[in-house]
Homo-oligomer: A and B are copies of this chain.
Amino acid sequence: MVRNIIVIGSGAAGMTAASTAKRSDPDASVLVFTKDEYVAYSPCAIPWAIEGKIKWEDIVMHDPSFYKKERGIDVYVKTTVTAIDGVNKAVVANGETYRYDSLIIATGGIVSVPPVDGTNLEGVFTVKTIKDGKLVQTAARDSKTVVIVGAGIIGLEMSLAFRRMGKRVIIVEVMSQVMSRIVDDDMADLIQKHLEGDGIEFIMETSILAVRGIERVEAVVTTGGEYLCDMVVFATGVRADLSVPGLLGLDVGQLKAVVVAPTMQPYKMGCMVSDVFVAGDVVQCQSAVMKIPVMSQLGSTAVRQGIVAGMNAAGCNKVIGPVVSPWVSVIGSLHVAGSGFSRDIALRNGIKTVDGKAVGFTCARYCSDKKKIVVKIIADVTSHKIIGAQIVSGEDVTGRINWLASAIMNGMTVEDFIANSETAYCPLVSTVRDVVILAANELCSRF
């Protein structure tokens, strides 16, 4: 008997799950339903596509005909799943009923737009899909002043895209620092100053009260006054899109995302649902730092989860571990990265921290193209375990954050990390003692 596998969602988790399922069981029938027009694209690249640095067609990796022809997977775009019958194992889409043996839900997240007046005016956008991105790009052509609501990573990436398109850019942020969920205030300060140097204006500790205008946006009204603008982008964070999991009545956790077992199987009234698998931004993860749920919301996490969901949907029995969610971004000429807990997140979870920070260069001080690099490492004051790391540099952060993420994941103490870390040296591409080690040494001296 052919195994019927249905995937709902065509992002990183969904398409990875579909391809993995088909590879694990080549005889299976694999169908993908997606509301989106495009599949298998890189949403992380949208800010750069908007400014024109990357072409739209380039960020779409494959189209449905590729999946049909090369992988034997049927992809139905612009298709909404309207009902799921969990008892008879069937999905309704386009008015037809499709039976499944395994169902994979990877419907991602939606932008949390605050419930204020005027968000439906012309000129107000969110940026999540290619369709969103293209609308933003077109609108930006005739726009002079853009207000971005939210100084998270997407807001900052978007601010630079607009700035490079020659717009005046104002960021309104409710917190006192940028990227407050993932970096500490001192590191955030480096990033904000860099963006201010590029002419981006920050209105901090300010809430949005309304978007004002007649048909078109004319201003945003905030707790700090009105800001005239002809375009508004809400970059106010993403929450799980629970519409499809809701069709099955799946259990939702404290972070308002689907709770899954390490096999990516969800629960319903506390019982595991064995023929359903949920992956990507729609689920809450387990932190590797301590036993609490966290939202990872990273393409890399979605791919890792999609692999496990796809294999298990095809009859395997794989598990995925807890996360430390390393991330990296390019913000102007800064390369920024992090993993694990920030100091604030740690404190909020009752962990007392010590941190060590070091400033160095990415190569020998006498190399003319050297870039400054700041590394911060955060440890639990009791266990001495590394629980978080943040980097702001001009280059070369990816390998370093993956290395630190591995230390956090393995529960290493700072002392063990130093004792077991040798670092490679060539004056053109590193320093004799890597700044990561200098930060760890600084941390040790502060216990």
A409 touches B424 (CB 8 A): no
Contact A423 B326 (CB under 8 A): yes
Is A303 a contact partner of B433 (Cβ separation < 8 A)?
Answer: yes
Are A406 and B432 interface neighbours, CB within 8 A?
Answer: no
Chain B residue, CB-CB nearest to A433: B303
Do residues A321 and B420 form an inter-chain contact, with CB atoms below 8 A? yes
Choice from B303, B420, B429 contacting A330 with Cβ under 8 Å: B429
**Complex alpha-carbon distance, A145 and B193, angstroms:** 52
Q: A339-B424, A420-B409, A429-B328 are in contact. Are A436 and B59 (CB under 8 A)?
A: no
A261, B152: Cα distance in complex, Å: 51
Residue of B nearest to A307 (CB): B433
Copies of the polypeptide in the assembly: 2
- A12-B432, A45-B366 are known contacts. Are A424 and B403 too (CB-CB below 8 A)? no
Do B422 and A304 have beta carbons less than 8 Å apart?
Answer: yes
Interface stretch among A206-214, A271-279, A391-399? A391-399
Q: Please measure, in the bound complex, the distance between the C-alpha atom of A410 and the C-alpha atom of B403, giving whole angstroms.
A: 12
Contact with B along A270-311 (1 / 0, CB 8 A): 000000000000000000000000000011110110000000
- Indicate if the CB atoms of B367 and A54 lie closer than 8 Å: yes
Find chain B residues with CB under 8 A from A399 CB: 396-403
A427/B45 contact (C-beta < 8 A), A402-B403, A403-B402, A420-B321 known: yes
Give the interface size class of chain A.
35 or more
Does A269 lie at the interface of the complex (its beta carbon under 8 Å from any beta carbon of B)? no
Asked if A428 CB lies within 8 Å of chain B CBs, one says: yes
Task: State whether A424 touches B328 (Cβ < 8 A).
Answer: yes
Which chain A residues (392-447) contact chain B, with CB distance < 8 Å?
396-403, 405-407, 409-410, 419-430, 432-434, 436
Whether B430 contacts A405 by the Cβ 8 Å rule is no
Query: Does A222 belong to the interface (CB within 8 Å)?
Result: no
A422 to B300, CA, bound (A): 8
Q: Is A327 an interface residue (CB 8 A)?
A: yes
Within 8 Å CB of A367, what residues of B?
Answer: 54
Query: Is A366 a contact partner of B54 (Cβ separation < 8 A)?
Result: yes
Q: Which of A54, A55, A405, A429 has the most CB of B within 10 A?
A: A429
- Is A79 close to B, CB under 8 A? no
Asked if A425 and B330 make an inter-chain contact with CB atoms under 8 angstroms apart, the answer reads no
Contact between B434 and A402, CB atoms less than 8 A apart: yes
Contacts of A339 in B (CB 8 A): 422, 424
B421 touches A409 (CB 8 A): yes
Q: Provide a sorted-by-A list of 15 A–B residue pairs whose CB atoms are within 8 angstroms.
A: A42-B364, A42-B427, A44-B427, A45-B364, A45-B427, A48-B427, A300-B424, A321-B419, A328-B430, A329-B426, A337-B424, A339-B424, A397-B429, A398-B434, A399-B403
A-B interface, 6 closest residue pairs, ranked by CB to CB distance from nearest: A399-B399, A58-B366, A403-B403, A328-B424, A326-B424, A399-B400
